[in-house]
Structure 1
Amino acid sequence: MKKIYVLDTNVLLQDPQAIFSFQDNEVVIPAVVLEEVDGKKRYMDEIGRNARHVSKLIDSLRQQGKLHEGIPLYNGGSLRIELNHRSFHELQEIFVEKTNDNRILAVAKNLSLEEETKEEGHQVILVSKDTLVRVKADALGLQAEDFLSDRVVDVSDIYSGFIEIYIQKELLDKFYEKGEIPLADITQHPFYSHQFLLMKDSMGSSASALGIVDITGKFVRKFIYDQDHIWGIKPRNVQQTMAMELLLRDDIPLVTMIGKAGTGKTLLTLAAGLLQTEDLQAFKKLLVARPIVPVGKDIGFLPGEKQEKLRPWMQPIFDNLEYLFNTKKPGELDDILAGMGSIEVEALTYIRGRSIPEQFIIIDEAQNLTKHEVKTILTRVGEKSKIVLMGDPGQIDHPYLDEYNNGLTYVVEKFKDHPVAGHIKLMKGERSGLAQLAADIL
């Protein structure tokens, strides 16, 4: 039996194509949702862009008929702008205020009551990204769902980039002797290019080996780089060793790293970038950028020139640079960076329209990027450049993103089977025992 889906505003602002995600069912957009979308059109950010996209899409659908009467969609479903069913009679004893959220709830509730009176009435479902709206719907006896079609993965176990496998001791010896072994000798399980294998002795001895799947996906090979440390930074665990291999390889132009706070993502990447930019001269410049999304309440406009405005947002980057350069005095890092001239710290606000060739590009806190924003960034990458996207999908400050639909997760899942990319999930915190404990239990 067909269903009726009533959409909240945040669903359309998250995914402008959401109306096509409900198969052959009926999609209902309350009039108040159009008002909220209209109020967001002037925003000069991702939400504003989506609001304008939704407005143009709905306007183009007017050619197929009167929207308030319902029009067919190409996927077999239908769309209707709901002008009626706005009565607050069923809500007034529970939710007194006539807020926009409550108006959407009223439309869904009244539609549901109307369908219940019909002999073959349809089930009415409210779809919202807002948790409290779904809670309110449940209090009213309405069925409510989160919008899940925008999720890149259906489970929380995002691709980790490595796998632990137990093999025979003879195969371990063969791997150490020849530097590679066919994956078919180990298992019939398919692997992605540049996926890491932590191979252990199946008989229980302490013998083990680290390998990386080659570009063909048929062999596991030894690491190309086996350096003890770079710029004073030494990998402290097996995942950091894997990360260092990806960061130093010139045949992997896209690297993604995810991990909790304190796992060493930024420090390792900056060290690898400085080595290849300053020491090896493999790149002309090291570009470090991060999205400007505040944690908590925004502090408003900041005084000064652009670099002075950026300093508070970019301070985590400067903290790591101070550690790498071992600076002691105030202002010493600024003098070093001014003298080098090859390190650029920038906000992602200014990246659109640029072409960035021959640079080592670091995008920190990439979990706060939308799919559209991360596409914009990756399409800026020029010839002979390498880009590293890193962040923690569990720490998202963007109001319309979550662990499953953010730009970083999107890139990890979309590129995992492409040979130009490599990915690693850092598991162990190395900042301090307290930081690791806080990341785990808070």
Structure 2
Amino acid sequence: MGKIYVLDTNVLLQDPFAIFSFEENEVVIPAVVLEEVDSKKRYMDEIGRNARQVSKIIDKLRQTGKLHEKIPLENGGSLRIELNHRSFHQLQEIFIEKTNDNRILAVAKNLSLEEGEKENGRPVILVSKDTLVRVKADALGLQAEDFLNDRVIELNDIYSGFLEVYVSKDLLNYFYVKGELQLSEITHHPFYPHQFLIIKDALGSSASAVGIVDSTGKMVKKLIYDQDPIWGIKPRNVQQMMALEMLLRADIPLVTLAGKAGTGKTLLALAAGLLQTEDHKSYNKLLVARPIVPVGKDIGYLPGEKQEKLRPWIQPIYDNLEYLFNTKKPGEIDNILAGLNSIEVEALTYIRGRSIPEQFIIIDEAQNLTKHEVKTILTRVGEKSKIVLMGDTAQIDHPYLDEYNNGLTYVIEKFKDQKVAGHIKLMKGERSGLAQLAADIL
């Protein structure tokens, strides 16, 4: 016996291909959902793009049959646009206002009542990413679920980029002397390219070492980074040391850094970028960008030219640059950047259509990017460029993203087995004791 899934608008706006995610079951889209999608299609952002994509998908399906009847889908299921069932008879005593959410609930409730009168009635399930809609559905005795098919990973399974392994004292001594070790001598567990290993003595002594798996996934080697300060910055913990190793290596063109606020992601990336751009001349330019997503209420339109408008959004980058350049006076960092002419701080709004060769690219707050946006960014990277994506997956300001379906998590999981990529999750906050405590308990 199949099921009937009634989709809320936010499911389609998050994933336009959600229609095809319900296997051999019937998918019902209320007419009010089409109205809401239509109202969003003129938006010039990700929601608008998804609304237009939904329209195209449904229009293509329309050519195979009548939308108010069952249209077969390739996965064995079917799709139907529900034009009736707007009656509020079952809801009027509970939810008085005829809002769009309540109209969607009415469709699901009336379908459920219809199926309940049949001898072999099917379960009706409302699928919504809106928590309160699911709460309302529960109050009406309806089954309701979150849409989880867009999640890259399951709960608490995000790739950290490092593992602890225990070996004999002889193997540990051999690693100290030779600087490398066959992974088959440690364990038969498969490893990812550029995964870090914290190698410890199996007998419990304090002896330990840190190594990185090579691109073949068969050898673990000592780190190349020699721990000398970089632009006055020195790693304060083992994960920061791992991060610098990847940031300074030319054979890892894609680096992802995840971690709570204050773990040093931005500062480490900027220091590594400045060293390789200004000192080593490995790259022609350091490009730093971040998405324009406000925390809390948007401050609205800002006066001035482009750089003046962008300054409030990219001020966190300037804060870190002021620390690295050790500036004391107001406006001094602007004069330094103008004089260098090789450091560009930009908003991601302007990256589409660009090709960025021979640059060290840093994308801050990447957890606020969607899968489509992060694909757009990575496909801009030109020859001999290095790109660093970083963010805190627990601090997301985008309305349709969470810890498990955002662009940063998407890249981490999709590239973890690729030879061109490396990832590390920074664990310990180094901003201040108060910042670390706040990140842990709030």
The letter of the residue matching 1:233 is I
Q: Output aligned runs, 1:198-217, within 5 Å.
A: 198-217=198-217
What does residue 18 of structure 2 align with?
18
Deviations 1:384-428 (A, max 9, x none): 000000000100000010101000000000000000000000000
> Which secondary structure does the structure 2 equivalent of 1:383 belong to?
coil
What does residue 289 of structure 2 align with?
289
After superposing the two structures, state which structure 1 stretch, 155-164 or 425-434, moved more.
Answer: 155-164
Q: What is the distance in 2 between the residues matched to 1:16 and 1:156?
A: 26
What does residue 2 of structure 1 align with?
2
What does residue 154 of structure 2 align with?
154
What does residue 424 of structure 1 align with?
424
Q: Are 2:367 and 1:367 equivalent residues in the alignment?
A: yes
Q: What is the distance in 2 between the residues matched to 1:156 and 1:216?
A: 27
What does residue 267 of structure 2 align with?
267
TM-fit CA distance, 1:187: 0.5
Q: What is the distance in 2 between the residues matched to 1:97 and 1:441?
A: 39
Deviations 1:350-372 (A, max 9, x none): 00000000000000000000000
Q: Are 2:321 and 1:321 equivalent residues in the alignment?
A: yes
> Which secondary structure does the structure 1 equivalent of 2:36 belong to?
helix
Q: Are 2:31 and 1:31 equivalent residues in the alignment?
A: yes
What does residue 137 of structure 2 align with?
137
Answer whether contact 1:156 1:404 (CA < 8 A) is retained.
no
Q: Output aligned runs, 1:87-106, within 5 Å.
A: 87-106=87-106
The letter of the residue matching 1:218 is K
TM-fit CA distance, 1:90: 0.8
What does residue 70 of structure 1 align with?
70
TM-fit CA distance, 1:154: 1.2
Gaps of 5+ in 1: none
TM-fit CA distance, 1:228: 2.1
> Which secondary structure does the structure 1 equivalent of 2:24 belong to?
coil
Q: What is the distance in 2 between the residues matched to 1:141 and 1:393?
A: 34
TM-fit CA distance, 1:166: 1.2
4+ residue segments displaced more than 6 Å: none
> Which secondary structure does the structure 1 equivalent of 2:63 belong to?
helix
Q: What is the distance in 2 between the residues matched to 1:404 and 1:193?
A: 22
> Which secondary structure does the structure 1 equivalent of 2:211 belong to?
strand
What does residue 399 of structure 1 align with?
399
TM-fit CA distance, 1:226: 1.3
Q: What is the distance in 1 between the residues matched to 2:395 and 2:176?
A: 40
TM-fit CA distance, 1:167: 1.0
TM-fit CA distance, 1:157: 2.6
TM-fit CA distance, 1:86: 1.2
TM-fit CA distance, 1:131: 0.6
The CA RMSD measured in Å over matched residues stands at 0.5
What does residue 111 of structure 1 align with?
111
TM-fit CA distance, 1:10: 0.3
After superposing the two structures, state which structure 1 stretch, 246-255 or 85-94, moved more.
Answer: 85-94
Answer whether contact 2:11 2:128 (CA < 8 A) is retained.
yes
The letter of the residue matching 2:376 is T
Q: What is the distance in 1 between the residues matched to 2:92 and 2:229?
A: 67
Percent identity, aligned pairs only, is 84
What does residue 309 of structure 2 align with?
309
Answer whether contact 2:227 2:241 (CA < 8 A) is retained.
no
Answer whether contact 2:71 2:79 (CA < 8 A) is retained.
yes
> Which secondary structure does the structure 2 equivalent of 1:64 belong to?
coil
What does residue 298 of structure 1 align with?
298
> Which secondary structure does the structure 2 equivalent of 1:289 belong to?
strand
Deviations 1:163-219 (A, max 9, x none): 011111111100011010100000010000000000111111110000000011000
What does residue 433 of structure 2 align with?
433
The letter of the residue matching 2:382 is G
TM-fit CA distance, 1:85: 1.2
Answer whether contact 1:127 1:144 (CA < 8 A) is retained.
yes
Q: What is the distance in 1 between the residues matched to 2:305 and 2:133?
A: 42
Report how many residues are paired. 442
Q: What is the distance in 2 between the residues matched to 1:356 and 1:377?
A: 10
TM-fit CA distance, 1:374: 0.2
Answer whether contact 2:210 2:222 (CA < 8 A) is retained.
yes
